[in-house]
A and B are shown apart, each in its own frame.
Chain A
Amino acid sequence: MPVPEPMEFFIDLGRCIGCQACVQACTECDTHKGQSMIHLDYIDRANSTQTVPVICMHCDSPTCAEVCPADAIKKTADGVVQTARKPRCIACNNCVIACPFGVPKMNTGMNLMMKCDMCYDRTSVGKKPMCASVCPSHALFFGTRDEIEKLRPRSRSIKQFQFGNQTISTKVNMMIPKDAGNEQLDVTAAMDPAKVDGNVVDDPLMANLQSE
């Protein structure tokens, strides 16, 4: 019998419509009902409707775990970085400050760091994570590599990110345009306007607006 291809998480930021279905659905997960582990924000609403959902990227060497003085953050054998263990977490906020993606949240009421565990309770019984199940635009997608390659012929996935001098490899994939040359995303460089190039139309509305 062939071994089924593993399911992976793919994020396609270009598809996000900012609807917050993922944020709302995350609060319906049985293990942390009422709390969303997803961050979703406008990048620059004055100029664009672009929004970005941030889920845990599940790093191969999780910075959050590395900086944890209490060794409270564990990674499962299949690479899922979990919420801090309650008996160990000392609510020091090191992980919150250190995570390059800004994922962990401190639940001050519970004195516990909480973060996305890729719906371990759901994926372990064959269900998809809540956010990727509901996402209307499939900016968040959970499936096999084979599926995503068929569905997104114009894109390919990467799982390496550069933050200054730190290179991070992740379990979660990010979709980028197929013809983009890079094998990793230089996140800090992308935040520097001087280093951004490409053929981005500055203002698609004004460009096609007939002047009176």
Chain B
Amino acid sequence: MANIPSDPLQIIEKFGPHLARSSGRRLDGAIQPDNVVKTHCCFCGQQCGIQLLVKDNEVIGFEPWMDFPFNQGKLCPKGVKRYLQGSHPDRLLHAYQRDPSATDGFKPLEYERAMARVAEEIQRIQSREGNHAFAVLSGASLTTEKAYLMGKFAHMCLRTSNIDYNGRLCMVSAAAGNKKAFGIDRGGNPWSDLLNTEIVWISGANVAECAPITTDYVWQARENGAKIIVVDPRIHPVARTCDLFLPIKPGRDVALFNGILHLMIENDWLDHDFINQQTVGFDEVAAHVSDWTPRKTAEITGITERAIRQAADWWGRAKTSFLMHARGIEHHSHGVQNVLGAINIVLASGRLGREGCGYSTITGQGNGQGGREHGQKCDQLPGGRDIANPEHRAYIARVWGMDPDEIPQAGVDAYEVFRKIDQGEIKGLLTICFNPVVSLPDNSFIRRMLEKLEFYVAIDFFLSETARYADIVLPGSLQEEDEGVVTTAEGRVIKINKAIDCPADAREDWRIIQDIARALGREPGFTFKNPGEIFAELREASRGGVADYSGITYDKIERQYGVFWPCPNEDHAGTPRLFEQGSWNPVAKGKGRFYFPDGKARFNVARYTPPAEDIDAEYPIMLTTGRVVSQFLSGTQTRRIGPLVDHYPEPRIEIHPVLAERYGIADGDWTTVESRRGNCTLKAQVVKTIRPDTIFIPYHWPGQRSVNQLTIAAQDPISKIPEYKVCAVRIKKATGAPEYATQLEPQQ
């Protein structure tokens, strides 16, 4: 029984989230650090270089790292204040087990006893219900070494199919679309290609708040003469000064891309040589978009025909361009179709794989790229290999020293894991670096499923809202307490360096995983002494795959300020820009620039379907969700950092004055938003920077402030990404403040 054992208020009092602020030696400007560690921020996919100042095994501050080429010292407020997550009063310092008699629900447990208990429960469940009845949910903020180890642990040690990760809620639509079109899943270009381009097209990406350093690249492009086109339901800070703003209705991106391609064909703004020689499938796509006239596109997208024609004109005539997108087009029940639509207008332009010509998703999580390459996705093996491919299975089995038939087949995606708990097929769960109670849609279902588990073990450094349901909590490591590589949104493999040791009984996550393997009596394959040894095996496991890391070393990363994969041997400098003539490609083997046997990119028909839950008379308003600049993902870290919480303490409902007036809602009014799955009462923020038929709520908060009480668990049939970006709601002015407002601090 994994239900929350006592009063949530008592758990919060013991485990937080409480707010850390600078005090003591962190406020003393006269203190000289013992050590200055060059490393990277622990948050988003940009992975900005930063120097951490260390005194007596505590990070006491930071200093900008001006030499790191991507950000050259620049940091967002999360990076500036990230150091406050260390020495935090909420830090888990030893293992815990649930204790129904304790007021806060848990009592400390000796680490080895916790290991024994975890092993015993895994064995009990697996011997009775089969290996697949125990599932693993991992995360994309882990280093690539840890992500690799999680995949190996599930597939080789636990022999369960059921491992997936929280990248499932992040970049998977882009990944699936890129694999279909290019045969490879990686951002195509270094951001420096933005600087010499004529058109920057940004669809569904709040760059200023979710990838703040990228703003400087976009605006430097503009200084150098580029026009900026932004497609979004909201005027976010980059949209404010763009050259053309297309206020798209949530969930209609593929319609816009089809309409643009229609106009490109009508006006012959096409690169015929590129289409003929380097792609397949154009004719079918051309036939499909023939009825996507500007009028039809305007009706579906909610953008004027004039603005659509202007965008097509600029895009069509450009000699160079860079199209970027992010979760705004990917978080949909047809997210892959949106991505394919975007890729189609890039392929039709022929503007790929050369200087100033680019296309990329903006990966969200710290290791969103590297965390999705080496085997913690349910259908994947290391090196970007396919778990269903017999050759791929044989190769990895050789590296792991096991029989290929012993590697489980593909498991289910992260949301489906919870449905399988509901169906009684999954009885036990291990999570690391994942807070689904906050981050998954329709999260009251997630809470019920956690309560239904027979056994749940969570590895974390703070007791996340999800870990409150655990039977055993194991104290893992903060990013600065370990070393390893991550891969940035650009595809640049960089190195996280260790600044401090884990406190008390906490330890590096990879040690905990290996200790579980040992307690299970399945130690072979899990005897690495340090992350460097894991990386050495990872290099071998990736060799010959598309995501080839075999030529990357920690030294080379340091020497070159990162290495872009693929990097197939130690003499190879890496591949900053994909799809260049002659770049290393183990699939096409010289036949072409793309990662298919014939070397050609694929046009894919991109079909428009309305959102899974469209608005109707009962629920007449669209709800869309996203992030704010001062918080990160489910807030496990950033809701514990005082200055970040001060910046934007709790979620507000962004609502256009036209819509607000219809419901008698004024700025600051408590307002109840209700969907078919739940309701949520928050304060309204009345602004003209959002479509009048849509409201926006950021998602970083738990409990009754969580917008994921309302969102829908509809998923893309290919990528399995949930439809966070649109569902149907109704709103009304609330009679007063909700109860939580007086019981809880904003971050709780």
Contacts and interface: CB of A to CB of B under 8 A. Distances in A.
A45 interface: yes
A210 B308 CA distance: 11
Given A133-B64, A208-B307, A209-B247, A30 B29 contact: yes
A88 B305 CA distance: 66
B238 A20 contact: no
B302 A33 contact: no
A133 B240 CA distance: 24
Contacts of B212: 17, 19, 21, 136-137
Given A17-B215, A21-B80, A135 B22 contact: no
- Interface SS majority for chain A: loop
B347 to A, nearest CB: 26
B55 to A, nearest CB: 13
B236 A138 contact: no
A128 B80 contact: no
Given A49-B689, A137-B208, A208 B247 contact: yes
Contact residues on A (Cβ < 8 Å of other chain), bracket: 35 or more
Contact of B215 (A27, A46, A136, A153): A136
Contacts of B22: 27, 33-34
A50 interface: yes
A27 B643 contact: yes
Interface stretch (B186-194, B218-226, B365-373): B218-226
A210 B301 contact: yes
Contact of A25 (B75, B223, B307, B644): B75
B216 A138 contact: yes
A28 B62 contact: yes
Contacts of B27: 33-34
A31 interface: yes
A98 interface: no
A48 interface: yes
Nearest to B212: A136
B629 A210 contact: no
A47 interface: yes
Contact of A153 (B80, B224, B247, B691): B224
B667 interface: yes
Contact of B691 (A27, A32, A50, A209): A209
A50 B164 CA distance: 40
Nearest to B295: A210
B437 to A, nearest CB: 28
Interface string B592-630: 000000000000000000000000000000000000011
B66 interface: yes
A33 B61 CA distance: 10
Nearest to B644: A24
A119 to B, nearest CB: 12
Contacts of A86: none
A40 to B, nearest CB: 10
B464 to A, nearest CB: 24
B688 interface: yes
7 contacts: A19-B208, A29-B29, A31-B29, A34-B22, A48-B689, A49-B236, A138-B74
Interface of B: 22, 26-30, 61-62, 64, 66, 73-77, 79-81, 208-209, 212-213, 215-216, 219-220, 222-224, 235-241, 244-247, 298-299, 301-307, 629-630, 643-644, 647, 657, 667, 685-692
